Amino acid sequence: MTSHIQTIIDPPEDGHFRNGVATDGLIPSPTTLSLNLAINGRDHALDVEPRVTLLDALRERLHLTGTKKGCDQGQCGACTVHVDGERVLACLTLAALVDGRTITTIEGLADEDGTLHAVQAAFLEQDAFQCGYCTPGQIMSAVACIREGHAGSDDEIREYMAGNLCRCGAYPNIVAAVRQAAQELR
């Protein structure tokens, strides 16, 4: 059974929910949710189980594989995307949670004409990646890091980019790229 997100608006007076969700006070059974996710300026309709994360929705259902799965546990940063302009981890975010919010992934960062974002261009110039797998997360994190005002010094960049692990060891070049992009965007 597929349903839209049920919002409990009115407090039940008698222990019974209205809105047809759980009128007998019992827990509603799991259903497939119909979601509408606003990603990179486009609306994506999607029917998924409530437990599906934003990360798996992007990669497995919407074929937006630029957002990477490194740990699936909130411990590496490879799945970093922006929700309402702030960097978050897609692996610990239910897709249902962000229905109604604005999502940006690496695929939506460059201009529509292909012009790279200043952070992307700086990553290329500074060779701020090797295998490229953590890179979309690093770039999304870096864009937010600069926007937050946390790119004021190399030490601040290191601290505020610490949530994105890079096993190839591109860290010094990532710092250089963020520093460069922050100056360009100032």
Partner 1 sequence: MTVHDVKHAASDSARLEAVGGRLSRVDGPAKITGAARYAVEQQLEGLAHAVLVDSTIAAGKVVSIETQAAKAARGVIAVLTPDTIMKLSVASDWFGNPLAPQRTFCPLARDVTYCGQHIAVVIAETFEQAVSAAALVMADYDQAPALVELGDGTAGEIISIEGMTKEWGNAQAALAEAPVHLSAVYNTQRSAHAAIEPHGLIARWEGDRLTIWEPSQWLDGMARTYAEWFGIPFENVRLVSPYIGGGFGSKALALAHSAVAAAAAKMLGRPVKLMLTRSQNFTSYGGRATTRQTIDLGADKAGRIQSIIHRGVSEVSLEGMWVEAVGSITSIMYDTPNFSSRQDVVRLNTVLPNPKRAPGENPSAFGIECAIDELAHELGLDPLEIRLINYAEQDPHAKKAWSTRQLREAFAVGAEAFGWAKRSPAPRSMRAGHQLIGWGVAAGAYPVQRAHGEAVVKIMFDGSVEVESSSIDMGQGTYTILAQTAAETLGVPVSQVSVKLGDSHFARAGVTGGSRLAGIMTGAVHKAASQALDELIGLALSDPRLPFHGLQANTLAVKDGRIGSPRGDGPELSIAELMSMLGRDRIEAKGDTLPAGTTAEERYKNYTTIAMSIPHTEGDYSRHSWCAHFVEVKVDEDFGTVRVSRVVSALDSGRLYNPKLAESQWKGGIIMGIGEALLEEGIVDRRHGRTVNSNFADYMLPTNADIPDIQTISVGIPDPHSSALGGKGVGELGIVGVAPAIANAVFHATGKRVRDLPITLEKLI
Partner 2 sequence: MRDFSYLRADNIEAARNAAALPGAMLLAGGTTLIDLAKCGVVEPATVIDISHIEGLNAIDVTADRALIGALAKMSHVADHAEVKSLFPAVSEALWQAASAQLRNMATIGGNLMQRTRCPYFRDPANFPACNKREPGSGCSAIGGVTRGHAVLGVSEACIATYPGDLAVALVAFDAEVDLGERRLKVEDFFLAPGATAEQEHDIRPGEVITAIEIPGSAAARRSTYIKVRDRQSYEFAAASAAVGLELEGDGRTVRDIRVALGGVATKPWRARAVEDALKGKALDEATIREASELAMQGAVDHGANHYKIALAPRVIARAILKLGETA
Q: Are residues 148 and 156 in contact, defined by beta-carbon separation less than 8 angstroms?
A: no
Q: Which one of residues 34, 72, 92, 185 is an interface residue with partner 1 (CB under 8 A)?
A: 72
Going residue by residue from 83 to 122, which x/- string records binding to partner 1, judged by CB under 8 A? ----------------------xxx-xx-----x---x--
133 part of the interface to partner 1, by CB under 8 A: yes
73 part of the interface to partner 2, by CB under 8 A: yes
11 φ/ψ sector (left φ>0, alpha ψ -120 to 50, else beta): beta
41 is in the binding site of which of partner 1, partner 2, none (Cβ under 5 to 8 A by kind)? none
Nearest CB to partner 2, comparing residues 127 and 154: 154
Find the length of the chain: 186
Minimum CB distance to partner 1, residue 13 (Å): 35
Q: Which one of residues 69, 82, 87, 179 is an interface residue with partner 1 (CB under 8 A)?
A: 69
Q: Which one of residues 51, 110, 152, 154 is an interface residue with partner 2 (CB under 8 A)?
A: 51
Number of residues that bind partner 2 (CB under 8 A): 50
165 part of the interface to partner 1, by CB under 8 A: yes
CA dist 139 and 145 (Å) reads 9
b or e along 87-116 (b: 16 or more beta carbons within 10 Å of the residue's beta carbon)? Answer: bbbbbebbbbbbbebebbbbebbeeeeeee
- SS3 annotation, 53-115: EHHHHHHHHCCCCCCCCCCCCCCCCCCEEEECCEEEEHHHCECHHHCCCEEECHHHCCCCCCC
Q: How far is CA 52 from CA 30, 65, 83, 104, in A?
A: 12, 16, 17, 18
Q: Which one of residues 50, 70, 133, 147 is an interface residue with partner 2 (CB under 8 A)?
A: 50
Could you list the residues that contact partner 2 (CB under 8 A)?
Answer: 5-12, 15, 17, 21-22, 25, 27-31, 33, 49-51, 53, 72-74, 77, 80, 86-89, 92-94, 96-97, 100, 141, 144-145, 148, 150, 158-164
